Structure formats: structure tokens, C-alpha cells
Chain A
Amino acid sequence: MIEVEHLSKNYGATRAVQDISFRVEKGEVIGFLGPNGAGKSTTMRMLTCYISPDAGTARIAGFDITARPLEVKKRIGYLPENNPLYLDMGVIDYLKFIAALRGIPGGRVRERIRHVVDICGLSSMAAKDVGELSKGYRQRLGLAQALIHDPDVLILDEPTIGLDPHQIIEIRHLIKNIGREKTIILSSHILPEVAATCDRVLILNRGSIVGSGTPEELSALSSGGQAIVAVIRGPRDRVEAALSAIEAVVEVRHLGEDAGLQRFELLSLEADAVCERIFFAVAAGGWSLTELRRKSINLEDVFLDLTMREAS
């Protein structure tokens, strides 16, 4: 549904997006995760044809974003960052305006408006002006606007930013429901956000993709006691080699040395078995184990880790 190839964009000397490539299949919900300034919004703006890329291209439903922008725009529903709205219009007037410019035939406008007002839970606000709505309802209106022409692709830039926890849960629920039929790209700098709504996560930092996977894969690498800290007295290289040889260990990292004590962190998919194996490996080597504990890592750590590594 979406194919992105070597997309790049510079703002003056700042490289906002550098050589990004990825694919999104029909019906997938993809999350862009990254700190502020990672290039999430810039990528989305290029996909929606708001800005043009400096290099590379993308195809949405087979249409090239630079060659056929009008066809691309027809197939996308877009909620820009900060959800801009015309505050002086009525809720229904605004939806009518968008529907007209979306080319929805006059006879279907009422039905479409009723539909999006319904699924976005806006019925009680229909008679109000946009400026009178609370932030949560404005966000719903932004979503309703993006959905009105029943697009194949939805691009949502930080759909839950600035909402209270109750509203966040409602909007997430809404996105999940919509996501059953549509291809969605959404962005966030909050991890639980993407973990809760997305099939797949792309982690962006400084304009590049630094990691990707399903939320389960990312948390499998890390969460719920899957990381083990071991402090061992012994020669560093031999201990490290022995630890790396242990079955089911994904990664061994040397964290530091303190008076002959080597501190290691191991990432593993089977923490229980690995703890035992570390004990036997250390015993077999004739070294001593002064500390062995599980560290609970969550997605936050993966995220920080991936983005920090890039920075250093």
C-alpha cells in the first residue's frame, strides 16, 4: 500500500530526513517512534504531498507522491501535527467544507458526515463551533475530517498529544477500530502509545530509521526480566567469551570494571534458563559470581538505547 524509497529532506543545513525506506502492507498499522525532531512529521508531510522530498520517492496505492500528488491526496486522510482547525466554523460546516473539497458527491455528504460524527463520538457536539470544543473533541473532529472520504490510508501525526489519560484511551480505542480496515501510519514519542495501537514500530532518530519490529519483538528483546546483570570476578575477555557462548543469549555487553569485578549485561529470550547456565559457566571457568540479577527493561529502554547509540 505504501512504498517509501530513499526519501530525504533537508532544511538548510539540517538533515531532517535521511534516506528512509520502508513498506507498509494493506491493513497494517505502523507507528513512528522517536524523539522530537527525529523526522517523523517531515516524513509524514512528504507522504501527504505537503512538502516535496529533496531525494527519493514514495508510492501510495501505486501513485508516486511527486508525479501524481492529486491522486495521492485523494487516497489519504491526514491529521497534521497539533490538529489545526478553523476555529470560527461550525462543526458540521467544517465537515461539509472538507467533504466538498474531498469531492464527495452532494447526495452522499449527509450520510458520510453522520457516519464520521457517529464513529468519532461527536454527536453531542454537532451544533457547536469548533472554537468551543475541548481539546479531546477537537482531536475527534480532526480524525472525523481525516475519515470523511473513507480513505485507504490514514496518516496521523501525534494523534493523542496533549490529551488527558482518559481521552488518550478513547482515541486509541478509536484508532484500533479504524485500523481493522485501513492502512495507518501514526507517530508518537510515547512508547506505550505505539505499543498499544500498532502492528509494527519504526524507531526514528535524527532522520534515520534506527530500529524496527513488532511491539512484541521489541519488548521480547527487553521486557519483564529478560535482561540479566551479572558481576563476575575473572579475566574480562575469557568471561565475555564464555558468556557469549551460552545458549539463548542474544547479546552480551560489558558495562564496566571495578576492582577486578566485571559487570556484564546479557539480553536473552529465556531468562530462567540463562541464569542457571551463567552460574555453571562461571563455576566451570573457576571464577566467582558476586551478583546475578534480572533487570526489568521496558520499551522505554529499548527506545533510549537505540536512539542514544545513534547519538554517540
Chain B
Amino acid sequence: MRNTGVLFWKEFKSYFSSPVAYIFIIAFLVVTNWLFFRTFFLANQASLRPFFGLLPWLFLFLAPAITMRSWAEEKKLGTIEILMTLPVRPYEVVLGKFFSAFAFLALNLALTFPLVATVMLLGDPDPGPIWGGYAGACLLGGTCIAIGLFASGITENQIAAFIVAIVIGFTFLIVGENMVLYSLPSSWGPVFSYLGLGAHFQSIGRGVIDSRDIVYYFSMIGFFLLLNQMTIEGGK
């Protein structure tokens, strides 16, 4: 675990070694604030629900942008050979990369607190859905990060990693949507609706923490991190 900590800090710092991180954070905040406030005053409701409704679609693009570099860059520079010949276990490296990318996403999420403050100031919203929404956003974000890491591990091209991650994320996002469910045989419905990324997020977002949703996100994260580790080790 000590190694994971070392790798975590090295990766986390490397996000801030270029201006890209700051541009990323600013872009994220401008987009979320704009999309949120565009309808906020019209709707005249002190609720963060529209914000949480946007998040899955934002994460679909943001998480791959954070993770695309993680492995692809190591492969391109050849530094993966240094990393994998150090006395560390592959899973420690995978976890270090996962937690640092996740921490960066969580930082972005934390910087949306002015939205919460505004809503609190202007109205008297139920805190349950807000905390639930953030908890769900963390789980959903973690899943998108795990998918992005896996995509980054299969190529040395960052753009390819970005696109593959979006394709996988998009697939998991839409399989749970009603439009897809209606077109399927009815017996498949529950399976696909369980697999969908969005439905679990909405149910947590209502402020109801259901163990099924937690289990879903943790198994998705675990599954993609395991795949990631296998592709990295399988390259031998």
C-alpha cells in the first residue's frame, strides 16, 4: 500500500505540472455553472437536480480526458519499462493511477460547492438528495475513471484511449435508458437496466442509498481495474 501512496502522489502532482489541469478545471466549472444557471432562475426551484442530471454526460467526456494519459503516455515514452521493473506489484500501480485520477475528478466536483451554496442561500432544499447526489457522482465518476484507465492501457495513443473510453462509457450509459430497453425483448430488460450506469446514479441521487447500487458501482470499478491490470501484464 505504501507503493500505491507513492504512485498516487507522483501521478497527482503530474496533473498539475502542466497548465492543462488548470484549463481543465476552469472549463469544467464554466460549463457546469453555465448549464446549471441557464435554467436555474427560469425553473425557480432551489434544487440541484438539473446539475446531477447533467453529470453523467459530463463525466462521459471528462473522465476519459483525465485518464487518457495515464498508461498511453508511459507506453509512448517507454517509462512503463522503468515502472514495471521496479519492485512493485502491478495492482499497486493500477490502484495508484486510479486513485490519483479519481482524486482529480473529486477535486473538480468539490469545486462546484458554489452551486450548493447558491441553492442553500436562495431556498431551503432537502439536504438528502444533495449529499446523495455527490456520493452517487463519486461512484459514477470512479466507474468512468476505471473505464478510462482500461482504455488508456490498451494503446499508446492518447486520442485512441480517449475515444475508446467514450465509446465504452456511452454504451454503459445508454443500455439502461428507456429507449434501448423498449427495443429489447422484455426478458432482457432487467439485466440491461441493471447494467446501465445512469439508473443507479438517479436512485442514489434521490437520497436513497441502496446496497444494490453500491455493489454495482464497486463491481464495475473492480472489473475494469482488473481488466486494466490484465492488459498491462498481458503485454509481456
| Residues in chain A within 8 A of chain B (CB atoms) | 45, 48-52, 70, 73-74, 76, 78, 80-82, 84-89, 97-98, 100-103, 145
A101 and B86 form a contact (CB under 8 A):
yes
Excluding A87-B77, A97-B6, 18 further A-B contacts by CB distance (< 8 Å) are A48-B85, A50-B84, A50-B85, A51-B236, A52-B236, A73-B85, A73-B86, A78-B81, A78-B82, A80-B82, A85-B82, A86-B14, A88-B17, A89-B10, A97-B10, A101-B7, A101-B86, A101-B88
Collect the chain B residues with CB atoms within 8 Å of residue A45's CB: 81
Given contacts A51-B236, A52-B236, A101-B3, contact A84 B85 (CB under 8 A): no
Q: Which residue of B lies closest to A51 (CB)?
A: B236
Q: State how many angstroms separate the Cβ of B118 from the closest Cβ of chain A.
A: 37
Collect the chain A residues with CB atoms within 8 Å of residue B87's CB: 70, 73-74, 101-103
State the majority secondary structure of interface residues on B.
helix
Given contacts A51-B236, A100-B6, contact A86 B85 (CB under 8 A): no
Q: State how many angstroms separate the Cβ of B17 from the closest Cβ of chain A.
A: 4
A102 and B86 form a contact (CB under 8 A):
yes
Question: Of B3, B7, B14, B77, which is within 8 A of A84 by CB?
Answer: B77
Collect the chain B residues with CB atoms within 8 Å of residue A80's CB: 78, 81-82, 85
Collect the chain A residues with CB atoms within 8 Å of residue B77's CB: 84-87
B79 and A76 form a contact (CB under 8 A):
no
Collect the chain B residues with CB atoms within 8 Å of residue A100's CB: 3, 6
Chain B 173-217 residues near chain A, CB threshold 8 A: none
Collect the chain A residues with CB atoms within 8 Å of residue B10's CB: 89, 97
Q: How far is the CA of A102 from the CA of B14 in the complex (A)?
A: 20
Given contacts A100-B6, A101-B7, A101-B87, contact A84 B81 (CB under 8 A): yes
Q: State how many angstroms separate the Cβ of B19 from the closest Cβ of chain A.
A: 12
Say if the beta carbon of B44 comes within 8 Å of chain A.
no
Q: Which of B14, B79, B81, B89 has the most CB of A within 10 A?
A: B81
A76 and B3 form a contact (CB under 8 A):
no
Q: Which of B7, B17, B78, B82 has the most CB of A within 10 A?
A: B82
